Amino acid sequence: MTTQADSRTYDFDANVAGFGAPELTPLRKPPADATVGLLVTCGAYYPDQKRLEQRSDLSYRLLPRERDLSDVLFAHMTPIRAFALADPNVAYPRDTMLDLERAGVIGRYADHAVSMVGSISQYDELATETAPRIVDEFAAMGVDLVPFCPQCHVAGGVLARAIERRGLPTTSLTTLHRAASAVKAPRATFLDFPLGCPCGRPREAEQQRAIVRAAVETGAAVDPADEWSLRRLPFQWAADGGRDWEALVTDLYRVDNEIRGSVRANLNAHVMTLEGQEKEFTIRCAC
């Protein structure tokens, strides 16, 4: 199910008609024995690092696992960044990953996370230039599995497919069913939560741990021979199943006119469409 903000941020029908199923790399180890990396597209960075651009930035920042979240910043200037400003772990789940390591759910959380701003439309360069560099970064850290917590679902899906094709297994958390179904990221799971909260509600650490654990374990259990499907995680934003958060997301876009204007400018800056050329693209970019 999509939110009202979905159509405001990206026209998927006009830009992404639908990819074929991705080719999966077999997991070498179960999560409990694996070194697990993390890639986020919320634009997290630290004050002593060069700021990420708001859009079309193919660079990334390495975020040390032990560095405190109190001074983390977010370069992605979307209105829904308000959730991450309230609690960074909803978009960059550093504390959650360390908790899962301590609990033995994952073998080890990698030394660094990789952070980007996912507002990218240079899909060729993303798949053929950025993805190999990220694979090299994770290989140097001995990573066996990379969970994605994507804010930007098209760029995140393209990147996950490209990384997977280069021999590194991935699994993804998504909050946009329609977008994820179009791009078909490897081992994707769907969480029916607001945009900007792929890892749970702000300041609810127990729920955040349960969500990320379920995403990793559900993704890891996928049989490469299975037909691609988007597995839904069994969590609710409100205990009564209410969907008041849809109005909240819409309000964030409406009241923050300046940021909403930057989002619209980003749409106008898109220089590449995937419509009708998904098969050619996956061959050319190996994703």
CA-to-CA dists, residue 160 to 98, 145, 163, 179, angstroms: 22, 11, 5, 14
Q: Where are the domains of the chain?
A: 25-232+243-285
What is the rounded distance in angstroms from the CA atom of residue 41 to the CA atom of residue 119? 8
Q: What is the pTM of this model?
A: 0.85
> What single DSSP character describes residue 201?
S
Angle at 110 between CA 95 and CA 64, to 5 degrees: 65
What is the rounded distance in angstroms from the CA atom of residue 114 to the CA atom of residue 59? 10
Residue 233 has which token pair? 């995680």
- Walk along the chain (287 residues) and give the pLDDT tens digit of each residue: 333 333 334 454 555 556 899 999 999 999 999 999 999 999 999 999 999 998 899 999 999 999 999 999 999 888 888 899 999 999 999 999 999 999 999 999 999 999 999 888 899 999 999 999 999 999 999 999 999 887 677 889 999 999 999 999 999 999 988 888 989 999 999 999 998 899 999 999 999 999 999 999 999 999 988 899 999 999 999 988 888 888 888 887 776 665 556 656 665 655 567 777 788 878 777 77
CB 153, CB 274: distance < 8 Å? no
Q: What is the DSSP string of 96-148?
A: HHHHHHHTTSSSEE-SEEEE-B-----HHHIIIIIHHHHHHHHHHTT-SBEEE
Burial annotation 152-170 (CB, 10 A radius, 16+ → b, else e)? bbbbbbbbbbbbbbbebbb
